[in-house]
Amino acid sequence: MKIKPINGNILVELGKPEETTKSGIVLPESKKKADKKEGKVLAVATEVQGIKKGDQVLLPSTYGNEIDLPGKKTGLMIDADEVLGIIE
């Protein structure tokens, strides 16, 4: 299955949420669902500028539509204007 975003959207493969803190404290399930998500851009609509395939981006958790990707991965289709930033 191949998905091509249209109308200013991007397809992002979501990163796995942190399960422990840097000091080794195991996070409860409620904290794993952070306010912000990050992921890797898999596809970009042709009219989107400034974001390209392969970029790591920071996303708000309340936007977009989660979709199942091949290989038991979770993706997010989101409007490119909702991206908070590109992680360098």
- Kindly report, residue by residue over 68-79, the tens digit of the pLDDT: 888 777 888 999
Q: Which residue has the higher pLDDT, 44 or 74?
A: 44
Q: Which CATH superfamily is domain 9-15+29-87 in?
A: GroES chaperonin (2.30.33.40)
Q: Provide the whole-model pTM.
A: 0.75
Across the chain, what does the average pLDDT equal? 83
**Mean pLDDT calculated for residue range 20-26:** 76
Q: Is residue 36 scored above 60 in pLDDT?
A: no
- Phi and psi at residue 78, in whole multiples of 5°? -140, 150
